[in-house]
């Protein structure tokens, strides 16, 4: 087989799988590659594209490191396919304390980050062309895992006009006989929305009426600002089958440990075969990395440490305030204030820039002002006027970022056709 590359034919070129045609992950995509090229040429880039806490000086709590170091001699062989038993005990205890029903270590799975477990949960569930209800904007891994496992994403909107919260009636209208699961991300990435209990009760009722599996990404569960309250979905779901995802990456600032978990709750009679299917898939990858699993126990059993960062005066709270202030001072931006997680999702006003391409804006911001963000369309938002940035840089740097954003938006506004026509007149 021959393929075309840059207009010429390359004999014997290896064609990638067609399964990847609709898979996107622009958080580490073309813009990131362009930023690396610019760095190679000596330019300094402010990177706001990814929630990598260590890049901005955040560190995992020392007692997590100590737990790993003191158990290295016990971590050199393969472990149980579902994870270290003592770590699963700690996760099960946390989930039961949160009101999850029928949770025990045999219904807990530890993986190499939540990313791996999302793939396992969908691979064990989906037949070809089964549908999964996903938020728009979504975290794009959910869309990718759905597609790569033969499923079809069906997106429900979480618009800024509705506080980036979903509409249960819209979700229910999307359900077809092929719909298998409803995915929630709470606290939300990329918007920072935190879902109130009353909304979760409505969503659980929709899932119950249509016998859907609930999948809730709760990796940001303790990253909350002001008076925001995290409501675990499993407690609301009760006997309804539900998988809750968590991990060490965000709340415990340990992205590189690659330790995530999923907890299967609800009526065991409805999920026993599904649980066994996930165990089979977990066994095929042998086990999750062993050393870092020892950190799960102190992470969940000792006093939490993240509140010092999100409370008044904490670094993440101050960074969030810098973003809020930057938007308030802008002639072009609006923002639904994030209640949780590590991101903000500003929107460009149509009244100021009528014709707007979020990818073109992101590229200009990178090339003209050396700031790397993620366009809103990367999160499966049609005709997006949004962009996502992280709250991880120091507040002073975020204030400088909004000065640069305003310069690019100002230039784009001056280039709008009606501005040019007015200047001629």
Please, is 157 exposed, middle or buried when counting C-beta atoms within 10 Å of its C-beta (0-12, 13-18, 19+)?
middle
Interval 270-288 mean pLDDT: 96
* Interval 395-409 mean pLDDT: 97
pLDDT tens digits, one per residue of 225-261: 999 999 999 999 999 999 999 999 999 999 999 999 9
> What is the pTM assigned to this prediction?
0.92
pLDDT in the model for residue 244: 98
| pLDDT for res 425 | 40
SS3 102: coil
Contact predicate 135/345, CB 8 Å: no
The CATH class given to the 62-301 domain equals alpha beta
Q: How many residues does the chain have?
A: 425
At 9 the pLDDT is 61
CA separation (Å) from 294 to 40, 58, 75, 78, 284?
38, 20, 9, 14, 22
Owner of token pair 């640069």: 404
Q: Model confidence over 173-185: pLDDT tens digits?
A: 999 999 999 999 9
Identify the architecture of domain 17-58+308-424 in CATH.
Alpha-Beta Complex (3.90)
* φ/ψ (deg, to 5) at 173: -70, -20
pLDDT digits (tens, 9 = 90+) for 290-323: 999 999 999 999 988 999 999 999 999 999 999 9
Q: CA-CA distance, 102 to 283, in Å (whole number)?
A: 23
pLDDT of residue 105: 97
- H or E stretch including 153? strand 152-157
Confidence class of residue 412 from pLDDT cuts 50, 70 and 90?
very high
Is the model's pLDDT at 411 over the cut of 80?
Answer: yes
Tens of pLDDT along 104-120?
999 999 999 999 999 99
Place of tokens 């891994």: 141
Q: What is the pLDDT of residues 345-382, one digit of tens each?
A: 999 999 999 999 999 999 999 999 999 999 999 999 98
For residues 215 and 242, give the distance between their C-alpha atoms in angstroms, rounded to a whole number: 6
Alpha-carbon dihedral 165, 170, 172, 177, rounded to 10 degrees: -120
Looking at the chain, the domain(s) classified CATH 3.90.1150.10 span 17-58+308-424
The residues of the chain that CATH labels 3.40.640.10 are: 62-301
Q: What is the mean pLDDT of the chain?
A: 93
Interval 92-105: pLDDT, tens: 999 999 999 999 99
252 exposure class (CB count in 10 Å sphere: 0-12, 13-18, 19+): buried
Count of beta carbons in the 10 Å neighbourhood of residue 4? 9
Is the distance from CB of 384 to CB of 323 less than 8 angstroms?
no
How far apart, in whole angstroms, are the C-alpha atoms of residue 332 and residue 327? Answer: 8
Query: What are the φ/ψ torsions at residue 386 (nearest 5 degrees)?
Result: -110, 165
In angstroms, the CA 283 to CA 276 distance is 10
Given a cut of 80, whether residue 29 has pLDDT beyond it is no
CB 420 within 8 Å of CB 412: no
* DSSP assignment string, 264-284: EES-HHHHHHHHHHHHHHHHH
Name the band, by pLDDT with cuts 50, 70 and 90, for residue 26.
low
Quick one: average pLDDT of 203-208?
A: 98
Residue 50: which pLDDT band, with cuts at 50, 70 and 90?
confident
CB 369 within 8 A of CB 407: yes
- pLDDT confidence of 3, banded at 50, 70, 90? very low
């Amino acid at each position: 087989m021959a393929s075309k590359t840059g207009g010429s034919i390359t004999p014997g070129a290896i064609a990638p799988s067609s399964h990847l045609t609709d898979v996107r992950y622009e958080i580490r995509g073309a813009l990131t590659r362009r930023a690396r090229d610019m760095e190679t040429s000596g330019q300094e880039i402010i990177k706001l594209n990814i929630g990598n806490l260590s890049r901005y000086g955040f560190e995992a709590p020392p007692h997590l490191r100590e737990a790993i170091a003191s158990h290295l001699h016990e971590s050199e062989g393969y472990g149980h396919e579902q994870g270290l038993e003592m770590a699963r005990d700690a996760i099960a205890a946390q989930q039961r304390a949160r009101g999850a029903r029928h949770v025990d270590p045999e219904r807990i799975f530890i993986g190499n980050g939540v990313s791996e477990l999302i793939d396992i949960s969908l691979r064990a569930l989906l037949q070809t062309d089964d549908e999964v209800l996903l938020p728009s904007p979504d975290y794009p891994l959910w869309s990718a895992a759905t597609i790569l496992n033969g499923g079809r994403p069906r997106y429900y909107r979480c618009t800024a006009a509705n506080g980036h919260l979903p509409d249960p009636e819209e979700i229910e209208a999307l359900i077809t006989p092929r719909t298998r699961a409803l995915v929630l991300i709470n606290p939300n990435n990329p918007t920072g929305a935190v879902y109130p209990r009353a909304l979760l009760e409505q969503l659980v009722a929709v899932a119950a009426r249509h016998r859907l599996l609930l999948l809730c990404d709760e990796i940001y569960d303790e990253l909350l600002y002001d008076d925001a309250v995290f409501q675990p979905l499993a407690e609301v779901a009760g006997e309804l089958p539900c998988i809750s995802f968590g991990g060490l990456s965000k709340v415990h600032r340990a992205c590189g440990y690659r330790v995530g978990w999923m907890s299967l709750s609800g009526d065991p009679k409805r999920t026993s075969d599904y649980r066994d299917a996930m165990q089979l898939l977990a066994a095929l990858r042998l086990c999750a990395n062993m050393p870092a699993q020892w950190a799960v126990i102190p992470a969940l059993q000792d006093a939490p440490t993240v509140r010092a960062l999100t409370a008044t005066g904490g670094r993440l709270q101050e960074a969030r305030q810098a973003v809020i202030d930057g938007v308030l001072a802008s002639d072009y931006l609006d923002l639904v204030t994030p209640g949780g997680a590590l991101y903000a999702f500003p929107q460009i006003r149509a009244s100021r820039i009528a014709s707007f391409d979020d990818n073109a804006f992101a590229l200009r911001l990178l090339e003209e002002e050396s700031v790397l963000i993620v366009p809103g369309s990367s999160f499966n938002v049609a005709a997006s006027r949004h962009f996502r940035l992280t709250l991880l840089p120091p507040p002073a740097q975020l204030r400088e970022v909004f000065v640069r954003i305003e310069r690019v938006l100002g230039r784009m506004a001056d280039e709008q056709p009606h501005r040019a026509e007015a200047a001629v007149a």
